[in-house]
Amino acid sequence: MRSAESSSKYEDLRKVVKDFIRLIGDDPERPELRETPERVARMWLEELASGYDQDPDEHLKYFHVSSADYISANRLIVVVNVPIRSMCEHHLLPFYGYAHIAYIPGDEVIGLSKFARVLNVFARRLQLQERLTEEIADYLYKKLKTRGLLVMIEATHTCALIRGVGEPLSMITLSTRGELSVDEKLRTEAMELINNSRASIHKEDTIRE
């Protein structure tokens, strides 16, 4: 059933991309472009917009831990450099970067690789970085049953890069819940842990530019 639905979507989208190429002034029949509508339609349905068809709960797998051990020995768990690839809803152009998450563990934690999958469900839709950050924070705060959570996303927006001069290319958004909203000392500690681990990325970014 699902494949029939996606194949009619695919066919419609392929036509739209073909029209799009014609409307911007090129010839969709020239040999180099002949397979482009097909390729673009598949890319959107299978990758860039794949988040619409997914439930983030499918990717959650919990590990039970003794919260007493965690809280006394290591109060915060910090997950850094989770890749974010999304499409800006204002221009349909990519923005990309990393999410960093800090939380106070409850009785259950989720595996490292699951963070990337869960975040991907929210990112693989048309998004605003601000809303993406809030949605991830709301979801993880609820699912991790944590007393406090912080989500930071740093992303580069290609719409700013190729359209304008002087617009900010990279943006950092921050969202906090629970104790990490109200406890300034804890928030500073979380930010320091994140900043220490993400420093190398900035170095690489600088070299690449």
- x/- letters, 158..187, toward Zn ion (CB under 5 A): -x----------------------------
Catalytic: 90? Answer: yes
Q: Burial level of 135, CB count in 10 A (0-12/13-18/19+)? A: buried
Rounded distance between C-alpha atoms, residue 171 and residue 60, angstroms: 28
Who contacts 10 (Cβ-Cβ below 8 Å, separation ≥6)? 41, 42, 45
Catalytic: 89? Answer: yes
* Active-site position among 59, 100, 154, 157: 157
Cα-Cα-Cα-Cα dihedral sign, residues 57, 58, 59, 60: positive
Q: How many residues bind Zn ion (CB under 5 A)?
A: 4
153 part of the interface to Zn ion, by CB under 5 A: no
Q: Burial level of 148, CB count in 10 A (0-12/13-18/19+)? A: buried
* Active-site position among 91, 108, 179, 189: 91
* Active-site position among 59, 100, 129, 154: 129
Site for Zn ion in 77-106 (CB under 5 A): 88, 90-91
Catalytic: 59? Answer: no
What is the number of the residue whose Cβ is closest to Zn ion?
159
Smallest distance from the beta carbon of 82 to Zn ion, in angstroms?
A: 22
* Active-site position among 5, 11, 89, 167: 89
Rounded distance between C-alpha atoms, residue 53 and residue 16, angstroms: 20
Smallest distance from the beta carbon of 89 to Zn ion, in angstroms?
A: 8
131 part of the interface to Zn ion, by CB under 5 A: no
The residues that touch Zn ion, with contacts defined as CB under 5 A, are: 88, 90-91, 159
List residues with catalytic annotation: 88-91, 129, 157, 159
